[in-house]
A and B are shown apart, each in its own frame.
Chain A
Amino acid sequence: MSAEGGLTTTGYIQHHLTNLTVCSDAARDAAGHCHGFWSFHLDTLVISGLLGIVFFGLMAKVAGKATSGVPGGLQNFIEMVVGLVDQQVKDTFHGKSALVTPLAITIFVWVFVMNAMDLIPVDFLPLAAGAVGIHYLKAVPTTDPNLTFAMSITVFCIMIWMNLKVKGVGGFLHEVFSAPFGIKLAPVNFIFRVVEDIAKPISLALRLFGNMYAGEMVFILIALLGIWQLPLALPWALFHILIITLQAFVFMMLTIVYMSMAAESH
């Protein structure tokens, strides 16, 4: 348990799971809590943005100076990561698109670094933020469903766009109404397709959110054990490295699969 001795266990957990939220005064209730759609989770926005700017900026900087000769250590590492993603794209996505590989790279790298925030001990960032007057901080952006849904809905939009681009509006509509049972069962096909496509972004978002939220929750519970957290936090962190990588990989892989499904006609 942290230095906030006055808090109850429930209070501690709730404190850790509360986002730093800002909103206009009109959306604020008497207790100062924000309600309604027009409020922002500042911690999610800032941390995910900063991580993205730092890592994609670094990658862009290295890529700008990339040499086809013997690569330096950092270039070599980035090429390795990017090459791994590109290999997955090549294996799964058979269409031609300048977007799919960059999209997959973005997802893998960004989700990975955001998930990796989980490895910073749960109290470090909230305490540091508390010291400068910020009272709520949820350090892992992927434990915020707003982020995971934003990503999965973006992927969904790109998927629809890819469908329209490859098959045309007519081709896409024909596929929606005729696959898989033929045009005679058009309404059934249409319902199937809607369910299938709506399930994609929801499962993408909830899978990542659920895994990271649960992992974060276990970290918080371990942190409540006093001295016993020492032998427990390390194994869980080691195990969590696996989950972090796996979730980033799964999100990326499913995106590639959805893109390839969108780019191939049935």
Chain B
Amino acid sequence: MNINATLIGQAIWFAVFIWITMKYVWPPLQKAMADRQAQIAEGLAAAERGKHEQELAAKRSADALREAKEKSADLVAQAEKRAQQIVEEAKGNAKVEADKVVAGAKAEIEQEVERAKQQLRERVAELAVAGAEKILRKEINASAHADMLVALKQDL
């Protein structure tokens, strides 16, 4: 144990090394470690956020899918309904048209019948007259029985 001036020298060394540590070692290391801690915390938070976001997106996409399905089902139903309507309409139109055609045809037929009857009437009268003429040529005068013939024509 001999204490001497080495004490002073060692105290100076000690002070110098404390100063180096205080100025050049500890602050940058502390900063680097704190920064890294912050970065890790941030990364973890970001991962958590991303996970949450992803869950939300999955929910949103499921929602959108369901909505689209509903919409498309609606559209299909509407289209079917419309097609039915068109078919119904077409059926109705065709019926009306057909009825018209039928009615037209019937009217024409009637007219034709009427005309044929008319002609027939005229022809029947002529034939009757001609027949009667032939019969009556021998017995009666045509002019004498004209009134009766006209009355007959009216009855037909």
Q: Tell me how far the C-beta of A65 lies from the nearest C-beta in chain B, rounded to whole angstroms.
A: 9
Q: Which residue of A lies closest to B11 (CB)?
A: A150
By secondary structure, the B interface counts as helix
What chain A residues lie within 8 Å of B33 (beta carbons)? 68, 79, 83
Q: Let me know if B6 and A154 touch, CB within 8 A.
A: no
Q: Let me know if A40 and B4 touch, CB within 8 A.
A: yes
Q: Let me know if A105 and B21 touch, CB within 8 A.
A: yes
A-B pairs with lowest CB-CB distance, top 6: A68-B35, A150-B10, A146-B6, A60-B24, A102-B22, A66-B32
Q: Let me know if B32 and A67 touch, CB within 8 A.
A: yes
B25 at the interface (CB under 8 A from A): yes
A6 at the interface (CB under 8 A from B): no
Q: Let me know if B9 and A99 touch, CB within 8 A.
A: no
By secondary structure, the A interface counts as helix
Q: Which residue of B lies closest to A213 (CB)?
A: B1
What chain A residues lie within 8 Å of B36 (beta carbons)? 68-69, 71
9-residue interface stretch from B12-20, B58-66, B132-140: B12-20
A49 at the interface (CB under 8 A from B): yes
Q: Which residue of A lies closest to B38 (CB)?
A: A68
> Is the interface on chain A under 10, 10 to 19, 20 to 34, or 35 or more residues?
35 or more
**B→A interface (CB under 8 Å):** 1, 3-11, 13-18, 20-22, 24-33, 35-36, 39
A64 at the interface (CB under 8 A from B): yes
Q: Tell me how far the C-beta of A37 lies from the nearest C-beta in chain B, rounded to whole angstroms.
A: 5
Cα–Cα, bound, A48→B39 (Å):
39
Q: Let me know if B25 and A102 touch, CB within 8 A.
A: yes
Q: Let me know if A52 and B13 touch, CB within 8 A.
A: yes
A254 at the interface (CB under 8 A from B): no
Q: Tell me how far the C-beta of B16 lies from the nearest C-beta in chain A, rounded to whole angstroms.
A: 7
A59-82: which residues lie under 8 A (CB-CB) from chain B? Answer: 59-60, 63-64, 66-69, 71, 75, 78-79, 82
Q: Tell me how far the C-beta of B26 lies from the nearest C-beta in chain A, rounded to whole angstroms.
A: 4
Q: Let me know if A40 and B9 touch, CB within 8 A.
A: yes
A-B contact pairs, 22 of them (CB 8 A): A34-B4, A37-B3, A44-B6, A45-B6, A45-B9, A45-B10, A45-B13, A49-B13, A52-B16, A56-B21, A56-B25, A82-B25, A98-B22, A102-B22, A102-B25, A103-B21, A146-B4, A146-B6, A147-B6, A149-B7, A150-B10, A153-B7
